């Protein structure tokens, strides 16, 4: 450090700081100046108190305040503050860092949520946002898929109830014609059995019904 006063230049060593007309020894990282040096004594240093730090040799009388990683801002503590280093913050799960300083995240935003009809083409990380892409024709996604799914194709025995969209699958149901034939066959069999039963009873004389035989 250099200071010019009254035409004379005072040069301090890199490990010293200037106070008045004196060059005083700096305090080491993790501590602060308690009292400045004089011509009779050296600098008096004191360790940083809890919640503060000093990461380099200093001539300051106050340590720096530790950063608080605020969960409300999408941050969490990656490395706790020490006497010699500040807190290191990182994004919470589901967030990504949009601003950093000295290897610590200072601002984060929540990952983008893909909309129905879109799929996650690139999953978000601690440093990048989620990338969404639109589904192509004939496919769908509710916004949480990593790829769009093909619409369900209705089988022969079923019919399309609701067409698929880019956000929803197609819906299939029973074909109304699929049980017409079995129903007709069932009725024919029923009346045949009924006819034979009545004929049998009539021949046995147990039935007084009139049966017309052409």
Tens of pLDDT along 32-56? 999 999 888 999 999 999 999 999 9
DSSP code for 167: S
Q: Confirm whether 16-65 and 71-172 share one CATH topology.
A: yes
Say which residue the tokens 């946002």 belong to. 129
CATH of 71-172, one of 2.10.50.10, 2.40.50.140, 3.40.50.150, 3.40.605.10: 2.10.50.10
pLDDT higher than 80, residue 183: no
Residue spans of the domains in the chain: they are: 16-65, 71-172
Helix (H/G/I), strand (E/B), else coil: 175 = coil
How many other CB atoms sit within 10 Å of the CB of residue 171? 14
Give the containing element (helix H, strand E) for 194: helix 180-203
CATH of 16-65, one of 3.40.190.10, 2.10.50.10, 3.40.50.261, 3.30.420.40: 2.10.50.10
pLDDT band at 210; cut points 50, 70, 90: low
Kindly give, in sequence order, each residue whose CB lies less than 8 Å from that of residue 63, ignoring residues fewer than 6 positions away.
31, 32, 48, 49, 52, 53, 54
Question: For strand 64-65 and strand 52-53, is the pairing parallel, antiparallel, or unpaired?
Answer: antiparallel
């Amino acid at each position: 450090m250099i200071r010019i006063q009254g035409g004379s230049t005072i040069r301090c060593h890199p490990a010293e700081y200037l106070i008045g007309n004196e060059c005083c020894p700096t305090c080491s990282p993790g501590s602060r100046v308690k009292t400045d040096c004089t011509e009779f004594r050296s600098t008096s240093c004191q360790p940083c108190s809890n919640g503060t730090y000093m990461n380099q040799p200093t001539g300051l009388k106050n340590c720096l305040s530790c950063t608080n990683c605020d969960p409300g801002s999408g941050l969490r503590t990656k490395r706790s503050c020490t006497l010699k280093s500040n807190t290191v913050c990182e994004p919470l799960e589901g967030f990504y860092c949009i601003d950093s300083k000295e290897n610590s995240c200072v601002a984060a935003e929540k990952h983008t949520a893909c909309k129905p009809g879109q799929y996650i083409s690139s999953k978000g990380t601690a440093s990048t946002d989620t990338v969404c892409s639109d589904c192509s024709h004939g496919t769908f996604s509710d916004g949480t898929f990593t790829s769009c799914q093909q619409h369900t194709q209705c089988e022969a025995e079923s019919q399309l109830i609701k067409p698929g969209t880019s956000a929803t699958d197609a819906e299939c149901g029973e074909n109304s014609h699929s049980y017409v034939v079995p129903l007709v066959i069932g009725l024919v069999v029923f009346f045949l059995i009924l006819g034979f039963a009545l004929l049998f009873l009539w021949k046995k004389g147990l039935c007084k019904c009139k049966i017309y035989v052409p």
